[in-house]
Amino acid sequence: MCGIAALHHPQTGPAATTGERMLAELAHRGPDDRAQLPVGAHAWLGHTRLSLVDLDGGRQPLTSADGWALVCNGEIYDHADLRAELGEHEFRTSSDSEAALVLLRRRGPAALTRLRGMWALCAAAPDGRFVAARDRLGIKPLYWAESGGVRYFASELRAFPAAVRPAVETFPPGCWWTPEDGLVRFADPMPDPAELPSWEGLAPEVVEKATREVLVDSVRRHLMADVEVGVFLSGGLDSSVVAAIAAAECAEAGTRLKTFAVGTADSPDLLAARAAAEHLGTEHHEAIFDARRAVAALDDVVASVESFDASLVRSAVPNWFLAELAAQHVKAVLTGEGADELFAGYGYYHRAHAEDLQDELARTLGALHGLNLQRCDRITMAHGLEARVPFLDTEVVAHAMSLPEELKALQGGVEKAHLRRAFTGRLPEELLWRRKAQFGTGSGAQDLLTPYWEQRVTPSELAATDAPVRTREELAYHRTFRRHLDGIRPEAVLTRFATA
């Protein structure tokens, strides 16, 4: 819902002008407001706001009577439950982010495990206490650097001063940092297996009902907003399930869901999305792109996604046009991100990891913050649009990872059969059982971009480069990356290198 920047200096106050320049680079993440606040002698907090909850009273930095202040990027979906638990008298606004501030003040950073949502935050007190933290999956971005004794924090790489960029690293998900304790892990991406339920001996229908109910609850929570929320609809299983639940919730509230699809003319995703939207009765909008538009957008796309990974860029290009379209109609959208990593939606899971499927699912889910989630966040926020990911809700992740491996194995050669059966009757059979197509492929982007660069970047150029790239296409994206983010070390901020 916004962009955050923060500075902490252990000796004297950081220069506010540095923070202001960092915040200016994040203006696209929060077009509705911008504010900053020095906190005591050691900290500075800045925030750019996309107003979604408590439009009038939720301006950040949020403050408390004892001088604590907080900036938070994201959404806390269980904030009403936390208000009831912590006491309404502790709150000054209706902002969901204030639940994080009150929780920190009352119980310390270890209590952040209570937050159900997607978030990255920085908080400070006048006496020098400071906390930076990020949700367990890293759904919302956060980077940090230490230079000359000053700690820098920001939502995007572009925000860091040029002199600091060589020191920038990814702030790890599920961790908090304080000057006293350093970096501390408070939550793992995966729940403790010992705390998960057992489905042994239960009928498949019982398990399918549980899967359906946990997803319905998550989508309902993710629709939380004081503005209209839409859905990115690719016509694939995951986004269609989200759209089906959201459409039913909207109909019950007397409204009509807005859905958004993208592709080249008559691409598979576009055609399937039209069929899903017609079945669900949504107000459907389409963005159509061609080679000319795709190539023209590449500079902005690579600069925004802050990566040169070819598969990530290819999928980001159609998302660029999709987000541009959706931002004209809504301020937030739900997506199907994460379902493949929970329910084994990719073919390689079954070809190469049939014997250790759960371990591979856990590994890829833990790496999402630097891959699909990075693309999802950056491309939407480049257009002042928030993307929400109901499949990655804490309770959904716990439920999915509790399911036995046999429910995630291929059944009749089809992936995610359990998830499909759980939503029988909610979608037409031809959509419910449509086979998986990666977004860059189904939208038509790969057919346009890969041949384009193979004609313009020579094999000899690829052979001569010392850039950490695998293909000619990737070399082209690396050149753009370097032009916009010179000084940033890929091995410190890109998942492909960090996990190698």
Active site residues: 2
Rounded-to-integer distance, Cα 397 and Cα 117, Å:
12
Rounded-to-integer distance, Cα 25 and Cα 29, Å:
9
Residues 6+ apart with CB under 8 A from 306: 156, 157, 158, 374, 378, 481, 485, 493
Select from 139, 189, 194, 146 the least CA-distant residue to 168: 146
- Are 390 and 396 in contact by the 8 Å Cβ rule? The answer is yes
Amino acid at 440: G
Rounded-to-integer distance, Cα 118 and Cα 112, Å:
12
In this structure, is the dihedral angle defined by the CA atoms of residues 8, 382, 368 and 53, taken in order, positive or negative? positive
Structure tokens belonging to residue 447: 């057919």
- Are 74 and 139 in contact by the 8 Å Cβ rule? The answer is yes
Select from 42, 46, 297, 264 the least CA-distant residue to 151: 42
CA distance readout (Å), 199 to 173, 196, 216? 29, 10, 20
Residues 6+ apart with CB under 8 A from 54: 93, 94, 95, 96, 226
